[in-house]
Amino acid sequence: MFSMMSIRSRRSALVAAGTVLALTGAAACSSSSGGGSGSSGGAAHKKVRLITGVKSDPFYITMTCAAKTEAKAKGMDFGADGSAQWDVSVQRPLLDSVAASRPDGLLISPVDTSALTPSLKQIQSAGTKVALVDTTVTDDSIGITRISSDNEKGGRVAADALAKLMGEKGSAIVISVKPGVSTTDARIKGFTEEMKKYPKIKMLSTLYDNDLPATAASQIQSTLAAHPDLGGVFAGNTNTGQGIATGLKQAGKEGAVKVAAFDAEPDEVASLKAGTLQVLVAQDPASIGREAVDQLAAAFEGKSVQKSIGTNMVAITKANMNDPSVGKYFYKSGC
């Protein structure tokens, strides 16, 4: 899991300067149909629940904190939970439990693009208004709104930044969560397609770590052993970035192998400061949470709802990380 500026001609400068990449996707308006329980009256006292991808992930903690604050301001009955790990079998029981409570609204970050669709269709048809946050499903009938980053373009920005850091030569690899996750799939697609612009960079096969930092650490060390010319790594998400940083430190390759990572959770920010990571492509999970609550509120009040909303991103480097306009994008470890 954006308003788009002209990225192709400006991305290198944007990364170097840490300029906010207003990567906002098209925001098409739709009516608030598609859920009956909150179709009349105001947002106050409506029961809204949030299910995040991984409960302990600072990205989702930041999103939850913002959604909770916004819901409280609107007088909503708000509750949140999340998966212990990125797995359908873990998230499905949470969804079933929430469905049984028949909330007026549900914010959810589905951990798979299709496996949870039947359950989501069932809760939606029962009258709950569904907002997809960060991740999505392929069935367009699910959700009155979808709010996330333009992950494909974020991957392209990461590719250009990494290629520049590598001197446009050597081997590079992507390490990510697992196939079938809408956000990280899009990041990988954008990254690998953009890297084709650099013929002297050899892309190695993508590795998946199941969102386990220890696995990412082991994978980067094995890759270093097999490919001594490894010059760059793209980390698909927070936990992967953390694992790669650990693995490079253990291998004594901090700074020698350049790393572009998605997200800006506390450990990644510390690694950026220490020089283990060179670029963080930070999302804006707080805005995702706030916007989702606002769109549900609009639906409850019978107002128009934006079908698709993109949120800002910022490229963070060691040079600009102390700028308050950039630092506000750092993720939280608690509310």
3 state SS of 288: helix
pLDDT score recorded for residue 49: 98
pLDDT score recorded for residue 311: 87
pLDDT score recorded for residue 26: 37
Fold adopted by 25-148+284-311 = Rossmann fold (3.40.50)
pLDDT score recorded for residue 314: 83
Task: Name which of 154, 145, 161, 177 is nearest 57 in CA terms.
Answer: 177
3 state SS of 223: helix
Residue 173 phi, psi (nearest 5):
-140, 150
How many angstroms separate the Cα of 180 from the Cα of each of 115, 205, 208, 287?
10, 17, 11, 25
pLDDT score recorded for residue 179: 92
Q: Do domains 25-148+284-311 and 151-282 have the same CATH topology?
A: yes
Residue 296 parent element (H or E) = helix 285-300
151-282 maps to CATH 3.30.420.40: no
CA distance 250 to 276: 11
Written as one string, the DSSP assignment of 175-187 is EES-TT-HHHHHH
CA distance 292 to 22: 18
Question: Cβ distance 85 to 57 under 8 Å?
Answer: no
CA distance 54 to 238: 11
Is this prediction's pTM over 0.95?
no
CA distance 305 to 315: 30
Q: Tell me whether strands 47-52 and 77-82 are parallel, antiparallel or unpaired.
A: parallel
Task: Name which of 95, 46, 76, 257 is nearest 165 in CA terms.
Answer: 257
Q: Work out the number of other CB atoms within 10 angstroms of the CB of residue 23.
A: 25
pLDDT score recorded for residue 41: 58
pLDDT tens for the chain, 335 residues long, are 433 322 222 233 323 333 333 343 333 443 333 444 433 458 899 999 999 999 999 999 999 999 999 999 999 999 999 989 889 999 999 999 999 999 999 999 999 989 999 999 999 999 999 999 999 999 999 999 999 988 888 898 899 889 999 999 999 999 999 998 888 999 999 999 999 999 999 999 999 999 899 999 999 999 999 999 999 999 998 889 889 999 999 999 988 999 999 889 898 898 899 888 899 999 999 999 999 999 999 999 999 999 999 888 888 888 889 999 998 899 999 99
Kindly list the domain boundaries of the chain, sorted by start residue: 25-148+284-311, 151-282
3 state SS of 71: helix
CA distance 122 to 2: 30
CA distance 20 to 283: 10
